[in-house]
């Protein structure tokens, strides 16, 4: 038998194929997605729970860049901007090429304001309308699709009940 293969259950598999299968299964696990910068987030609306995978922006550099320069965001993905304290914030869409829904969220995960379909590349200010501890950016139209309203709940590791 050649050195570059091994036998399992009567079948020959090249070592490279085995390693690739192992790598793919590892990278698609929930733990690997979290290590790749994605965390699970769930929004509960009148229509039920809605799961998303979100990137976390929790420092000055990541919050400043946000979703700028991106031309596409997969469905059921987003970015969660986490802040150190609850206070009014304002966002804009400069250098952001995709329409976004901005969801402003209190410390306990309660949605305090939704700014739907922010205009790509706009420098118009999008205010939070009051204090918030986090802002969730989703693909434009997603908030309407899931029936998201003020008072709905967001669950993620960052929020404290």
Q: In the numeric block, which tokens belong to residue 153?
A: 């709940």
State how far the Cα of 10 lies from the Cα of 7, in Å rounded to an integer.
Answer: 6
**Residue-level pLDDT at 36:** 57
Tens of pLDDT, residue by residue, the chain (161 residues)? 444 444 444 444 455 444 444 334 444 433 343 445 799 999 999 999 999 999 999 999 999 999 999 999 999 999 999 999 999 999 999 999 999 999 999 999 999 999 999 999 999 999 999 999 999 999 999 999 999 999 999 999 999 87
Find out whether 78 and 98 touch, Cβ atoms under 8 Å: no
**Residue-level pLDDT at 161:** 72
Q: What count of Cα atoms within 13 Å lies in the side-chain half-sphere of residue 46?
A: 8
Residue 132 CB neighbour total at 10 angstroms: 22
**Residue-level pLDDT at 15:** 52
Q: In the numeric block, which tokens belong to residue 47?
A: 């229509």
**Residue-level pLDDT at 9:** 46
How many residues can be counted in the chain?
Answer: 161
Alpha-helical runs (H) found in 59-146: 60-65, 142-146
86: part of which helix (H) or strand (E)? strand 77-87
């Amino acid at each position: 038998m050649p050195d570059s293969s091994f036998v399992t259950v009567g079948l020959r598999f090249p070592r490279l194929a085995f390693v690739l299968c192992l790598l793919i299964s590892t990278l698609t696990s929930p733990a690997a997605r979290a290590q790749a910068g994605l965390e699970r987030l769930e929004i509960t609306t009148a229509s039920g729970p809605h799961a998303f995978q979100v990137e976390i922006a929790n420092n000055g550099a990541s919050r400043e860049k946000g979703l700028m320069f991106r031309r596409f965001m997969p469905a059921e993905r987003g970015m969660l901007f986490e802040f150190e304290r609850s206070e009014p914030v304002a966002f804009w869409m400069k250098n952001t090429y995709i329409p976004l829904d901005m969801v402003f969220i209190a410390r306990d995960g309660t949605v305090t304001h939704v700014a739907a379909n922010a205009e790509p590349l706009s420098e118009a200010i999008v205010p939070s309308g009051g204090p918030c501890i986090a802002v969730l950016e989703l693909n434009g139209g997603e908030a309407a699709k899931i029936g998201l309203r003020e008072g709905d709940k967001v669950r993620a590791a960052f929020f404290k009940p």
